[in-house]
């Protein structure tokens, strides 16, 4: 499969931008767990983060394939798109399900970079992957607003975002007795009712109902836990229909999975390139280590895994662009790509021997960063469950 000239030009432009943000830049931030402000500002200025926002709202109106190329090149250049990747896909919920007024109010500002929509509040400490079990509530208070109480965890970039897409329960959870195989649209559809999506303007409620606490993690990810205590959200910030929020969030997840898979492909390319170069240069026992099959085979295996995953990412992106159902392909792409990047990370570290652990090689940093993606945004087991149930027709296991 070959890419068109437009995508090649996008890749080149992203690479040129990333060249201004070398390993030293990321290492210094990693030590301090500091946010890459300059990098995010440069990406925003170049319009890359507005890739999927239609031109009528001031975005670039590009395709999913273009967004894939952008995210992949960021990672393949040694940079870390996790600082801002959510901006690309969270706005999809607003775009597809928001009112004309909401879109006109927020999308142009997001496209220009004046407003950041980078925070996505879904996961909670007690419910984890069981999103329907979330406990944060939004209770209507007259016509004007909702009052939100509860807690989210792993709400990444909340400190660096103006807006947050929040999923909260607006009506109590229905009794838990879905029949086996209950699916969307059947009796089981009720299982998903009662959750609603809000676009929270955090600038209005920080310190006034909203508290954000950073969580220090093994990599520099700017993630947080957030607490809502009688946080007031204007009723006009409800996205779509009350109670339908789970469906809106799900519809954005395919884009999220495809883009994160693209980041993993970029990471895998970075590790493979780094390992190949080092294996060719490092001489031990009088010959390059890459002359030994024990060293070259793991690199070749990583390359094969990366290429196979890359094809699935392209397949998923193509289906997404054609407006077709891509749930299975998006999940499989995320799974294959996350496995490929993690295997490549381990291979790259092993190829470098002791030097792989030295900070200045950037391998240990990228190793820590790419490890996330077999867990988030969805963990491996849950992808496997999805394929088992929805593609193979096996009984639902949870």
Ligand X SMILES: Cc1cc2nc3c(=O)[nH]c(=O)nc-3n(C[C@H](O)[C@H](O)[C@H](O)COP(=O)(O)OP(=O)(O)OC[C@H]3O[C@@H](n4cnc5c(N)ncnc54)[C@H](O)[C@@H]3O)c2cc1C
Q: Does 65 bind ligand X (CB under 6 A)?
A: no
Q: Does 370 bind ligand X (CB under 6 A)?
A: no
CB of 129 to ligand X, least distance (A): 3
β-strands 163-169, 224-234 pairing = unpaired
Residue 103 or 257: the one with the smaller Cβ distance to ligand X is: 257
Query: 3-state SS of the chain: helix, strand, coil percent to 5?
Result: 55, 15, 30
Q: How many beta carbons lie within 10 A of that of residue 353, not counting itself?
A: 12
CA within 13 Å, CB half, 74:
24
Q: Does 129 bind ligand X (CB under 6 A)?
A: yes
Q: Does 372 bind ligand X (CB under 6 A)?
A: yes
Q: Does 161 bind ligand X (CB under 6 A)?
A: no
First to last CA, the chain: 38
Q: Does 75 bind ligand X (CB under 6 A)?
A: no
Q: Does 269 bind ligand X (CB under 6 A)?
A: no
**317 closest CA partner among 1, 46, 80:** 1
Q: Which residues contact 285 (CB under 8 A, 6 or more apart)?
A: none
| Strands annotated E in the chain | 117-121, 137-141, 145-153, 163-169, 195-201, 210-214, 224-234, 238-239, 283-284, 287-288
Handedness of CA 201, 231, 83, 70 (dihedral sign): negative
Q: Does 193 bind ligand X (CB under 6 A)?
A: no
Q: Does 133 bind ligand X (CB under 6 A)?
A: no
In Å, what is the CA distance from 97 to each residue of 147, 198, 258? 22, 11, 20
Residue 250 or 382: the one with the smaller Cβ distance to ligand X is: 382
Residue from 355, 381, 391, 394 in contact with ligand X (CB under 6 A): 381
Residue from 103, 221, 274, 314 in contact with ligand X (CB under 6 A): 221
CB of 153 to ligand X, least distance (A): 7
Residue 298 or 377: the one with the smaller Cβ distance to ligand X is: 377
The binding track of 275-304 with respect to ligand X, each residue x by CB under 6 A or -, is: ------------------------------
> Whole-angstrom Cα distance, residue 350 to residue 361?
13
Residue from 19, 20, 31, 128 in contact with ligand X (CB under 6 A): 128
CB of 295 to ligand X, least distance (A): 32
Q: Does 376 bind ligand X (CB under 6 A)?
A: yes
CB of 158 to ligand X, least distance (A): 8
Q: State the residues that interact with ligand X by CB under 6 A.
A: 120-123, 128-129, 154-156, 217, 221, 223, 372, 375-379, 381-382, 385, 397-398
């Amino acid at each position: 499969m070959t890419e068109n000239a437009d995508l090649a030009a996008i890749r080149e432009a992203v690479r040129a931008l990333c060249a201004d943000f070398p390993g030293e830049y990321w290492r210094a931030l990693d030590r301090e767990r500091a946010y890459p402000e300059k990098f995010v500002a440069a990406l925003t200025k170049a319009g890359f983060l507005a890739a999927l926002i239609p031109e009528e709202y001031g975005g670039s109106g590009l395709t999913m394939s273009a967004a894939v190329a952008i995210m992949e090149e960021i990672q393949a250049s040694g940079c870390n798109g996790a600082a801002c990747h959510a901006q690309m896909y969270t706005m999809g919920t607003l775009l597809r399900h928001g009112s004309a007024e909401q879109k006109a109010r927020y999308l142009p500002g997001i496209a220009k970079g004046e407003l950041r929509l980078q925070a996505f509040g879904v996961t909670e400490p007690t419910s984890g992957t069981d999103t329907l079990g979330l406990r944060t509530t939004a209770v209507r208070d007259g016509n004007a607003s909702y009052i939100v109480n509860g807690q989210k965890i792993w709400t990444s970039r909340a400190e660096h975002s103006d807006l947050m897409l929040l999923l909260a329960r607006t009506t109590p959870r229905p009794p838990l007795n879905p029949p086996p195989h209950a699916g969307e649209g059947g009796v089981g559809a009720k299982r998903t009712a009662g959750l609603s999506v809000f676009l929270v303007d955090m600038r209005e409620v920080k310190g006034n109902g909203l508290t954000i606490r950073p969580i220090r993690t093994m990599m520099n990810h700017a993630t947080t836990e957030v607490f809502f205590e009688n946080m007031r959200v204007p009723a006009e910030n409800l996205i779509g229909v009350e109670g339908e929020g789970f469906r809106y969030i799900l519809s954005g997840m395919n884009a999220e999975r495809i883009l994160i898979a693209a980041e993993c492909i970029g990471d895998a390319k970075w590790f493979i390139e780094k390992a190949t170069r080092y294996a060719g240069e490092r001489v031990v026992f009088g010959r390059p280590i890459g002359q030994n099959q024990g060293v070259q085979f793991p690199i070749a295996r990583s390359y094969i895994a990366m290429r196979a995953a890359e094809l699935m990412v392209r397949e998923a992106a193509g289906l997404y662009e054609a407006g077709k159902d891509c749930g299975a392909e998006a999940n499989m792409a995320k799974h294959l790509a996350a496995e490929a990047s993690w295997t490549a990370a381990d291979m790259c570290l092993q190829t470098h021997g002791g030097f792989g652990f030295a900070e200045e090689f950037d391998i240990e940093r990228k190793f820590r960063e790419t490890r996330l993606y077999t867990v988030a945004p969805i963990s491996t087991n849950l992808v496997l469950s999805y394929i088992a149930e929805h593609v193979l027709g096996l009984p639902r296991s949870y």
